[in-house]
Amino acid sequence: MTERVPASGTVHWVGAGLSTGSGLADLCERAARVRLWHRTEERAAGALAGMGLTGRAEPRAFTLPALAAALAPGDVVVSMLPAPEHAALLSACVRARAHFACSSYVSPEVLDQVPAARAAGLVVLTEAGLDPGLDHLFAHSLIGRARAEIGPDTPADYRLTSYCGGVPAVPNDFRYRFSWAPLGVLNALRAPARYLEDGAEVTAARPWEATRPLVLAGETFEAYPNRDSVPFVEQYGLPAAWTARTFVRGTLRLDGWRKAWEPVFEELRAGDDERIAALARELAAAHPTTAADRDRVVLSVSLTVEAADRTWSGGYLLDLVGDEEESAMARCVSRPLALGVRHILDGSLPAGLNRAAETAARSALWLAELSDDGTDFDFRRDA
């Protein structure tokens, strides 16, 4: 096995968009050197000033050649850029023998480079934000707890649901607050969702049409499936003796969202790519996010396992509102990601592909560390 490249202590944080928050400040405390790469050096300096980090990180103007030229063996590159740009950054990391981290799902283009990264002794950390990220930690923790009580070889049926949403802290008529690019939101709704329900695979060509009510802590939300949930049955390592009755990963919205968004859905049913891109611009103009707005992030992961003679049921709930210093979305994305980078720096993550959670043991460690850092969430045991 190739020896892992020791971390140099230098972190290159690339991008300072809506998901960059106090995780960057945490790394400024712990890393030997932090560089913030943004569109221009002036914008990078302004972002640092806005976060109270002037003098604690170096502002840099981002271009891929400029970043590549600045990399040294053992550096860590943290990509906050859109997912399609991760592969090029990872390629630069492999050439420079630098580690790589992001909060996004693993793309095929990134996955193709993992063997070369592993052979070079490099860590590739992905899915280490909110969703994906914290949701994985919660799911692995719940599965580990149920496995210990039910037993991995005991035949049982299970139901696992994982719903996450960024919503306005103060409900508005639109029942939504854009926390990422409107075009990305619309395209996600245009993508079919595959999940397990009543023990069978189901595909929702229009995910919003599978919306159902979900009550959390006495409050009614609307929840719908998104993306492809099925591969996560294997990724989460659920025992082969357990049979999935329900397995859904999806999105959470405020009650009334589907009714408020019906005009948008009409456009999604009929529109082509050009029209949807125009609609995204119209929605951004009609529903701007201002500095006075406060966002709210809600993440609920629940698991019930029923064997012939016993049942285990429990869940995690995170419900966080942003403040004037930081949005809830930025906090929930950047803090788990920064924690992952800390584990690259301390050498505890192995070379090759890593996600926020690979085991229940790692989930327990990371959740304890996140709790100590001030990320609040609740665990409940129902049965």
CB atoms within 10 A of CB 153: 10
Measuring CA to CA, which residue among 104, 96, 43 is closest to residue 65? Answer: 96
Token output for 331: 């906090």
As a whole number of angstroms, the distance between CA 352 and CA 122 comes to 6
Measuring CA to CA, which residue among 339, 341, 334, 323 is closest to residue 372? Answer: 339
Q: Find how far residue 219's CA is from the centre of its chain.
A: 24
Token output for 340: 């992952």
Q: Where are the beta strands (DSSP E) in the chain?
A: 10-14, 33-38, 58-61, 76-79, 99-102, 123-126, 156-168, 193-197, 200-204, 212-216, 219-225, 242-254, 295-307, 311-321, 352-355, 378-381
Q: Are 245 and 199 in contact (CB under 8 A)?
A: yes
Catalytic residue, candidates 131, 135, 153, 309: 131
323 is catalytic: no
Burial 203-215 (b: 16+ CB within 10 A, else e): ebebbbebbeebe
Q: Are 143 and 236 in contact (CB under 8 A)?
A: yes
As a whole number of angstroms, the distance between CA 134 and CA 340 comes to 11
Residues tagged active-site: 131
